[in-house]
Chain A
Amino acid sequence: MNNQKVWFVTGASKGLGLSLVKQLLAKGYNVAATSRNVADLESAVGKSESFLPLAVNLTDEKSVNNAISQTISLFGKIDVVVNNAGYGMVGALEELSDTEARANFDVNVFGSLNVIRAVMPHLRGQQSGHIFNISSIGGFTGSYPGFGIYCATKFAVQGFTESLAAEAKSLGIKATIVSPGYFRTNFLAPDALSTPKNEIAAYKTVREVQDAHQNQIGGNQPGDPEKGVAAIITVAEADEAPMHLFLGQDAYDIAYQKMNDVKQDLETWKELTVNTGY
C-alpha cells in the first residue's frame, strides 16, 4: 500500500510543514520531521509510532546526515522528501546586511541543498524517490517589492530544482518545485518575517510594502494551508508529477503575468538579442 511510504519533512513545527505532517500521519504514512527544536515539534504534532521527530540544524551537514540515517534505521527507507523549512525576509537590498542576507540563504537555499546531498545516495540506491522543494510564487516572479533577498533565495530554489529534475530523472527520482501564493500560515507574523536591523527612511515603497504585509495581508491570506498540503500529497501519489506546482489563484495569475512580461521584453529587444553572433 502507498500508505507505507516514508516522508521526510523539514521545518515541521508550524505552518505548511506542520499541516503536512498531520495530514500524512492521519493518512497512515510514516513521517520523519525536523525542526530546530524537537520539543516544539513533539508538542505540535503529538506522539505516534509512525512519527519520528528530529532536532536538526539544516545548515550543519552532519546534523542533516544524522537525521537521514536515523530515518532510514527506523523506517527502512525514504520515499518523499519535502524541503519546507524556510522563512521570509523583507527589506531593500541596501538595508539588509551581508550577514542578514546570508542567514536567509543558509536556511532557504544551503539547508535544502544539504538535505538533497544527504538523501540522494539512498534514493539512487533504491532507484526511486520524489523531492519536493517548497519555493514561493516570489521564486518565479520578482514582482514583490521589498522582498529582494527572499525572492533571490526562492529563485535559487527554482533553479536548482529544475536542474535536479533533469539530473535525477534517469535514476528514477522526481523533483517538484512548489510555488505557493499567499496562504494563511504564520509566515508574515512578527516572530517569523525577518526585517532589516538598519532601516533607511528613504525607501518609502519598501516600508509601505512591509507595513502592508505585517498589518493587512498577514491573517487575511486567501489560501487554506490544509488544501495546499493536500495538493502536495495528491501530486506525490500521481504517476506523472509536474516539475512546477503553483498553489493558489494569486500564484497562478501572477506567474502568467510574469511569463507575458518576459515575452514582451524578449520580443521588444529581439533585434539586439539575436544580432550578437560572429
Chain B
Amino acid sequence: MENIIKTWFITGASKGLGLSLVKQLLAAGQNVAATSRHLAELVMAVGSTADNFLPIEVDLANEDSVGCAMHQTKKAFGSIDVVINNAGYGIGGSIEELTDQETRDSFDVNVFGTLNVIRMVMPYMRYQQSGHIINISSIAGFAPGVGWSVYAATKFAVEGLSTVLAEDVREFGVKVTVVAPGAFRTSFLTPDSLTIAKNRIEDYKVVGASLDRYLGYHGQQAGDPEKAATAIINVAYDENPPLHLLLGADAYDRAMAQLDKLEKEFRFNEELSKSMAYSA
C-alpha cells in the first residue's frame, strides 16, 4: 500500500469484508471511521484504541444519524477521502414468499442506506473537489442466482445508481467504483447475517433447493476476504480506478456467462427491437 494517508469511511464494519478492510487500513496507518449498528460489537471486533480509528454507531436508514457520523469524521480527521458502502445483507426467497416488509427492510440497508451516505458525503467531496465512493454490490447485482430475487433487486439497484453517480460527480473530481464480489468466506451465509423468507411456499422447489445449496457453501467459499480487502484498497490508490470491479474467479465466470446469455437474448429479437421508429 502507498504511504499517503487518507481518511476512510466504512459502513458495516463489525464483521466480514468491512472488518477486514478496517483492520488492514489501521495496520497501514490510515485514518478510519467505521460504522455499525452496535458500537460495542464494532469496538470489540476491531480491538484498536489508536487515534486513527473512529468507531461510530449509525443507523444507516436514518439520514440524520448518517449526517452526524460524517460530521464527526470530518472533525476528527479533517477530510473524507474514500467512502466504502459495505453494509448490506443477503435475503433469500422467491418474490411471492418475501413480504413487503421483508423486502423493504432489505432495501433500507442495501439501497437507501447507501443513498443516505452518498447524499451526506457529497457536500464534503464537492468542497474538496476529490474523493472516491466505493459501493459494495455483489455478482448477484449483475448475474442473479436462483432464489435471491429481492437481494438481486437491491444489488442491481446499487449497480445502476453507481453507474449514474460516476457520471454525475466526475465534474467534481469524485470517482466511483462498484465492487461485485463472488462467494467469500465471511459470515454472509450465517443465520445472524442472512434473512430467509418466513413464509415458505412448497411449490417453489427450485428456490428451496438453491437456497439449501448456497447455505451449504458456508465455510467452503473460495474467496479470501483479506485478499478482497487488499484488492479494494489497491483500487482506491489507482489513478484510474474501474467503474466495475469483480472479485473472485467465480464472479468473473458468472459475469461472462451472463454476457453470453444476454447476447443470445439480443439476437433473438433483434429485428423486432430495431423496428420501433415511426414509419416515414
Residue positions of A touching B, CB distance < 8 A: 61, 92-94, 96-98, 101-102, 105, 109-110, 113-114, 116-117, 120-121, 124, 138-139, 141-149, 151-160, 162-164, 166-171, 180-181, 183-184, 202-206, 222-224, 227-228, 231, 234-235, 242-249, 251-252, 255-256, 259, 261-263, 265-266, 268-270, 272-278
Report the count of interface residues on B (CB-CB < 8 A).
92
Instruction: Indicate if the CB atoms of A234 and B272 lie closer than 8 Å.
Output: yes
Residues of A within 8 A of B266 (CB): 244, 246, 252, 255-256
Report if B132 contacts A (CB, 8 A): no
Q: Which B47-85 residues have C-beta < 8 A from chain A?
A: 63
Complex CA–CA separation, A246 to B265 (angstroms): 9
How many A-B pairs with Cβ below 8 Å? 274
Question: Which single residue of chain B is at the shortest CB-CB distance from A120?
Answer: B96
Residue positions of B touching A, CB distance < 8 A: 63, 94-96, 98-100, 103-104, 107, 111-112, 115-116, 118-119, 122-123, 126, 140-142, 144, 146-150, 152-172, 184-185, 203-207, 222-224, 227-228, 231, 234-235, 242-249, 251-252, 255-256, 259, 262-263, 265-266, 268-270, 272-279
Residues of B within 8 A of A148 (CB): 160-161, 164-165, 168
A169 to chain B, nearest CB (A): 8
Residues of A within 8 A of B227 (CB): 275-277
A37 to chain B, nearest CB (A): 23
Question: Which single residue of chain A is at the shortest CB-CB distance from B169?
Answer: A92
Instruction: Indicate if the CB atoms of A269 and B224 lie closer than 8 Å.
Output: no
Q: What DSSP secondary structure best describes chain A's contact surface?
A: helix
Complex CA–CA separation, A36 to B278 (angstroms): 30
B94 to chain A, nearest CB (A): 5
Instruction: Indicate if the CB atoms of B265 and A242 lie closer than 8 Å.
Output: yes
Q: Find A170's partner among B111, B149, B206 (CB 8 Å cutoff).
A: B206
Complex CA–CA separation, A256 to B273 (angstroms): 12
**What are 26 A-B residue pairs whose CB atoms fall within 8 Å in the complex?**
A96-B119, A98-B115, A98-B119, A116-B96, A117-B95, A124-B203, A139-B160, A142-B166, A147-B164, A148-B165, A149-B161, A151-B164, A159-B157, A160-B152, A163-B146, A167-B206, A167-B207, A168-B94, A180-B276, A224-B277, A224-B279, A231-B272, A248-B276, A249-B274, A272-B235, A276-B231
Q: What DSSP secondary structure best describes chain B's contact surface?
A: helix
Question: Which single residue of chain A is at the shortest CB-CB distance from B274?
Answer: A249
Residues of A within 8 A of B171 (CB): 203-205
Q: Find A277's partner among B154, B165, B249 (CB 8 Å cutoff).
A: B249
B69 to chain A, nearest CB (A): 15
Complex CA–CA separation, A169 to B94 (angstroms): 12
Q: Find A154's partner among B107, B142, B160 (CB 8 Å cutoff).
A: B160
Known contacts A156-B154, A160-B150; A105/B107 CB under 8 A? yes
Known contacts A93-B122, A166-B144, A249-B274; A152/B153 CB under 8 A? no
